[in-house]
Amino acid sequence: MTKFKSFLFTLFLILSQVSFSQVRTVKELDINWKFQKGDVENAQQESYNDSKWETVTVPHDWAIYGPFDKEVDKQTVAIVQNGEKEATEKTGRTGALPHVGTAWYRNKFTISEADLAKKTILLFEGAMSEPQVYLNGEKIGEWAYGYSYFYFDISKFLKKGENTLAVKLSNKEFASRWYPGAGLYRKVSLITKNKESINQWGTYITTPKVSKEEAKVNIKTKVSVTNGALVTTILDADGKEISSNKTTLEFGNEFDQNIKVDNPNLWSPEHPYLYKAVTKLYVNNELKDEITTRFGIREIKYEANKGFSLNGKVTKFKGVCLHHDLGPIGTAINKAALRRQLTILKEMGCNAIRSSHNMPSFEQLELCDEMGFLFLAESFDEWAKAKVKNGYHRFFDEYAEKDIVNLVAATKNHPSIVMWSSGNEVPDQHGEAGVKRAKWLQKIFHREDPTRPVTVGMDQVNSVMKSGFGALLDIPGLNYRVHLYEEANKRFPQGFILGSETASTVSSRGIYKFPVKQGKNVQYDDFQSSSYDLEACSWSNVPDEDFVLQDDKDWVIGEFVWTGFDYLGEPTPYDTSWPSRSSYFGINDLAGLPKDRYYLYRSRWNKDAETLHILPHWNWEGREGEVTPVFVYTNYDSAELFINGKSMGVQKKNKNTPQNRYRLMWMDVKYEPGIVKVVAFDKDGKAVAQKEIKTAGKPYKLVLNPDRKTIKANGKDLSFVTVSVVDKNGIPCPTVTHQLKFKVTGKGTYRAACNGDATSLEQFHLPTMKLFGGKLVVLVQSEKEAGNIELTVTGKGLKTGKVSLRSEE
């Protein structure tokens, strides 16, 4: 390239950036928020003095800092969904964190005189809950649902110079079945653009015809003008232009473009290829607006007796359900925390996510597009009939349609989304009125997005088989009720069943109970559940029972396990016990550390990697000579177990029971300290892999293992550092519970810690915590200045652990 051409190219880039900045700006309102808990009189007024309020960064969850308190949102209730008939006191159902009450947020931003002549949108991606929004002392709007995205056109309320935004949030008691969080927990943004512009969420991209040779990309764009011209250019993943279309033909303020893409890269979990559509709106040859939309080219089908197909390939959902909290940082959205969750799940072989039971964050969907996860986007946990006193039923008639419209409009371009859910275990499953509501909600989804089917997570299976509720849905989703799958498939006309919620097996990481046997609603004095993965609730089951259906029935199209990670609140089976404040359902614990069950799923789901996992640990002082069964979770069919070199025999998977089919189990092993070794065999009987675990000596030193050593210097990025204890020979000590202290120096800060213990009342944000099962996780957050960061962890009687990190621009 000549110097002159290089100069022209650079000038073009500069002018393009200037042009774009002139037509549209998006400003995240993240810093310098003032926050005050309580119902403050006149806090909406522009002149109100908030100088003594706490300064916070949004996204923000005011309740996660605790303290835990059994009196918070204490409920005396019978949980109908769990089959309870008598009311009992529930002390940890919503996490025992102080989310109930009212709070105010205030922020100031500047508007130029030029921007006063434009259109400005104020966008909230989530506000918990019942937000009332004021600008310069005047109320501009309100919303009800804490999980919904919503926006207001605030153009007429703005003034030149400084503007004051105030938001009042109110969380009522008895409004949730889990920890909902509190505050402006997702992003708040100002979008400034010309009055002649593309509507908010006005672009809708579909791929109605897909093959390996070519794809038809349809782009519908809603605009605020009737005399414009639209130019849409499609770029590949490297930013190279591959196709373009210009049109002046509008249909009721909407452009409709069809663009051909030759030899398309198809989006799938294995190959999550993303294109970009750059859409420019011109009026009288002047650029008025420009947006960029990521999308994927893919084809989805749901067919009787065949199930779900992606790009012509039958694909089963190997999915998990996820609540929206992120453990020790609560509900405040954080992309690094989400990415870590999805990375852990990807390694397990998971290919699908169900947002439970609410609308997903934009960040979660962006990551699922990038990393390759199919997505079931859910809307409500309640319709018109109540589950909890102050739940969504209060708003259903007024807001249900508006909330669905916003959900679909905001997220429909994500290729990861392959179905919608209009509800979960709603009491409306009973009766004619519920059938009408299910039909009404499904029609709204179809109207807003004709390309994706709709499901409901149904737990009252006998009722929905009789009433027609299940028959009218695009996809019949069954929550548990494995004994009714066969009958439901015969009664429903769709020709397939989705396990919309499965298993709900309970376990505590690193905790094992004896004797080892399968049980329902089993409880122990320490309020923990056994990690032998044989315990469930009265209404649920262990994983193997779902595996049989998934593997043997072509008409079962997949499952979404409850849950991928533990979450705050709903501490079944200990929801009447204190202290117990978070779930036991997770395949991973609240800290994101894998439980044994992780490897059971991995052995079946991850076909590209070897799995060979031994449980339990082998530190059982006092159990010498007692029966201590050994399980092995592996993708191999057989293995031989050795205790201190002595063979315990070969076990081979078989179909005698669901457990024998998916686990290798030596039930008569007697404990003696030393070495447990397993040797796995391939189908020809050849030894192909082996693994050992050993009895540890006295705890000696702390070992620190970060998930990432380099993070971004943006004040938000996180490194998750797993802290464990080993003996002098480096053998992990799985039972130690030392109290540790944490110190972060350099260009980073201590954010939180978590040990995965559902009974712990230690506050996450304080720089000290006990080990649980010999481990915990420390979260280190970057600052906005790049540089070195060091985490130091100390514990009495243990050699100090240190790790060096780096934050970069």
State how beta strands 646-652 and 150-153 pair.
unpaired
- Which residue's entry shows tokens 């694909």? 315
DSSP E strands in 538-623: the ranges are: 556-562, 612-615
Find out whether the peptide bond into 759 is cis, omega within 30 degrees of 0. no
- Angle subtended at Cα 184 by Cα 180 and Cα 189, rounded to the nearest 5 degrees: 140
Cβ contacts of 10 within 8 Å, gap of 6 or more? none
Instruction: Please answer whether residues 242 and 191 qualify as being in contact, where contact means their C-beta atoms are separated by less than 8 angstroms.
Output: no
435 φ, ψ (degrees, to nearest 5) = -60, -45
Contacts of 240 (CB under 8 A, 6+ apart): none
Distances (CA, A) of 761 to 64, 523, 735: 12, 20, 19
* Total Cβ atoms within 10 A of residue 38: 10
The pair of structure tokens assigned to 243 is 């196709």
Torsion angle, alpha carbons of 305, 310, 315, 318, to 10 = -120
Structural contact between residues 564 and 320, judged by C-beta atoms closer than 8 angstroms? yes
Using N-to-C axis directions, what is the helix angle for 396-411 and 432-448, rounded to 10°? Answer: 30
- Length of the chain, please? 809
- Looking at the DSSP bridge assignments, the partners of residue 743 are 792
Find the DSSP H helices in 452-556: 461-467, 469-472, 485-491, 543-552
CA distance 750 to 718: 10
Listed in sequence order, the residues at least 6 apart from 35 whose beta carbon sits closer than 8 Å to its beta carbon are 53, 54, 55, 56, 60, 62, 103, 104, 105, 106, 183
CB 640 within 8 A of CB 650: yes
176-187 exposure pattern, b = at least 16 Cβ within 10 A, e = fewer? bbbbbbbbbbbb
CB atoms within 10 A of CB 716: 20
d(CA 92, CA 569): 6
Q: Distance between CA atoms of 712 and 807, rounded to whole angstroms?
A: 5
**Is 550:497 a contact under the CB 8 Å cutoff?**
no
User: Which residues belong to the active site?
Assistant: 425, 501
List of E strands, 118-160:
119-124, 132-135, 138-142, 150-153
